[in-house]
Amino acid sequence: AVKEGRKRPLEDVMQDIRQEITDGKL
């Protein structure tokens, strides 16, 4: 999500990060 954040809208990135946290990846 961090690397893709440069090409994607901030809202998209935040949602991706929250999903990763839910999956326990962070």
Distance between terminal CA atoms of the chain? 11
DSSP string, 1-26: -TTGGGTS-HHHHHHHHHHHHHHT--
Q: What tokens does 13 get?
A: 């990135």
Residues 6+ apart with CB under 8 A from 13: 1, 2, 4, 5
pTM exceeds cut of 0.85: no
The pLDDT value recorded for residue 18 is 94
Report the number of distinct structural domains present in the chain: 1
pLDDT digits 0-9 by tens, 1-26 = 456 556 668 888 899 899 999 998 76
| Token pair recorded at residue 4 | 């893709």
pLDDT at residue 3 in the model: 60
Write out the residue range of the structural domain in which residue 13 sits.
1-26
